[in-house]
Amino acid sequence: MKRLPLILLTLATFWPMAHAAAPTVAPAGTPPTATPSGGEALAVDILHRIGLVSQRENHFTETRQLHALRAPLHSEGQLRFIPPDYVEKLTLTPVRDSFIMQGDAVRLQHGQSPERTVSLHVSPALQVMAATIRGPLQGDVALLQRYYALSATGDAGRWTLTLTPRTAETAHIIRLVQIEGRHNTLDSTHLVQANGDVTDTTITSP
């Protein structure tokens, strides 16, 4: 696989979003779109509930453990998701970074450097990352199942959603994604990249 710039390879760490203003519940009697069993059925139900939220704005704190560095990196900032596909991550400390994904493009800015725009069509790897970011926020089960096997533990009130790579392309980038939440909110994410780098994100209300 063609090596991409580091800032693009770490796009998968930019996707976590969280609490809505208030949990919403799927209308009674809404038929499921699939009939999986066990943990996959719960995962599908969780994603459907998450997808009902109209907009999300939150605060995040993040810790990244990278093989290339001796000490973990800590950051914090703001997150925003506006359906159908607008995702924004604004890192405020220790360095101001901006990440905006909309449509088929990603806009990136680090510190005072000029903003850079990258097409998701540059690489299949970026398309995997975009799906990893958007799929949970949109509640798009079909999109996620292109790349991941879905499972969950717990119940609708408190759950852990696990995404395990289904394709070789996904496994080249991401080893594991776990999301913890309640109802249709996301409280934290744990992401392990294929090289062993780990990103843990905690999400709270603004």
Domain membership of residue 32 (yes or no) is no
Using one digit for the tens of pLDDT, what is the confidence trace for 134-156? 999 999 999 999 999 999 999 99
- Say which amino acid occupies 178: Q
Query: Position of tokens 């499921």?
Result: 32
Amino acid making up residue 75: S
The answer to whether residue 29 sits within a structural domain is no
- Domain that includes residue 115, residue range: 6-16+37-204
26 is a domain residue: no
In a domain, 79, yes or no: yes
Give 133-179 as a 3 state SS string. HHHHHHCCHHHHHCCEEEEEEECCCCEEEEEEECCHHHHCCEEEEEE
Number of domains in the chain: 1
**Nearest alpha-carbon partner for 140 in 193, 191, 83, 92:** 83
Q: Which residues contact 31 (CB under 8 A, 6 or more apart)?
A: none
Whether residue 27 lies inside any domain: the answer is no
Res 38 pLDDT > 70 = no
The helix/strand/coil state of 127 is: helix
The predicted-structure confidence for 146-190, as pLDDT tens digits, reads as follows 999 999 999 999 999 999 999 998 999 999 999 999 999 999 999
pLDDT of 7 > 70? The answer is no
CATH number, position 114 = 2.50.20.10
72 within a domain of the structure (yes/no): yes
The answer, yes or no, to whether residue 124 has pLDDT greater than 70, is yes
The reply to whether 70 falls in a domain is yes
Domain contains 12: yes
Spatial strand order in the sheet of 73-82 = 116-119, 105-110, 97-102, 86-93, 73-82, 56-65, 198-204, 185-193, 174-182, 159-165, 148-154
**pTM for the full predicted model:** 0.82
